[in-house]
Amino acid sequence: MKTYKEIKIKTEPFDVDVLSGFLWELDIDGINEFDDHLTVFVSEDKLLNEEVFNSLLKKLVEDKIIENFELEFQTLEERNWNEEYEKNVNVVEVTDKIVIKPSFKEYISKPNQLVITIDPKMSFGTGEHATTKLILTYLENYIKGDEFVLDVGSGTAILGITALKLGAREAICIDNDEWCFLNGNENAKLNQLEDKIDIRLCEIKDVKENDFDIILANINKPILINIVEDLFNKLKSNGIIILSGLLNIDEEEIINLYESKRFVLENKSGLDEWISLVFRKQN
């Protein structure tokens, strides 16, 4: 019987998007996401041992990306990967209106519900994480119809797809991860939105378009700090930016920074230890 290595990783703070990004730089085979940890899978023939993961996580501590971590390493008999993946992806009723489901699970929709089909594969954004739920909830309130939307760090493209389903005119979804680029395009096809959504493998500095009505950014605090000027320049006057990927402890720093750049805080909400902030660009 073949074996594989299973590595359970907890960090403080726990940011699925950031942590997964670093882990995929290793030659791993898969990741399962949970509320408070990740489980990484590595096949038996790969030279990835506990020391490799320890070194990576210690470097993240040194770089102040995380404060501490816990690592559990074990060798198990090989499983059916597709079956494991499908067991851990659920139908998520985000609000009374917005439902996120994988293509391989059935769901009978209620009147007036929008059912968005998302197969996450190796990308972040299933609708289960608090940060995604927070932004999706705001989208329901802020999409009025005919908006031009930019999603920065789009992962599965769940936010851009939902914006379009709610009535936005066009969405550009950008990510610097090739898995996200491929997966975003797959999900656009699943939702029959290829003509309205533009999935790009790039960073915000590469986006030539301007005057977005709404910008979405569900990414970690250091990136939100670094791209604040880019976000301001890309947003139309009086436009809305919805941020998440932030912990409660990040609130004051982000609000102070964004308000210093002529953004006005319009809304904020929280779920578990995570927050979402809505700013409007001043005229």
What gap in Å lies between CA 129 and CA 123, rounded to an integer? 13
pLDDT level of residue 72 (50, 70, 90 thresholds): very high
- Which residues of the chain form CATH 3.40.50.150? 89-281
Is the domain spanning 3-85 CATH 2.40.10.120? The answer is: no
Of the listed ranges 83-87, 89-93, 250-254, the one predicted with least confidence: 83-87
Whole-number pLDDT of residue 9: 94
The more confident residue out of 211 and 5 is 211
**Spatial CB neighbours of 110, under 8 Å, sequence gap ≥ 6:** none
**Per residue, what are the HEC states of 91-104?**
CEECCCCEEEECCC
Whole-number pLDDT of residue 70: 94
- Which residues of the chain form CATH 3.30.70.260? 3-85
Q: pTM for this one? A: 0.74
Whole-number pLDDT of residue 80: 56
3.30.70.1380, 3.40.50.720, 3.90.1650.10, 3.40.50.150: CATH of 89-281: 3.40.50.150
Of the listed ranges 25-34, 92-101, 147-156, 268-277, the one predicted with least confidence: 25-34
pLDDT level of residue 179 (50, 70, 90 thresholds): confident
SS3 27: coil
For residue 245, CA distances in Å to 23, 90, 115, 134, 154 come to 18, 21, 24, 10, 12
Residue pLDDT, tens place only, 207-246: 999 999 999 999 988 899 999 999 999 999 999 999 998 9
pLDDT higher than 90, residue 5: no
When the pLDDT of each residue in the chain is averaged and rounded to a whole number, the result is: 90
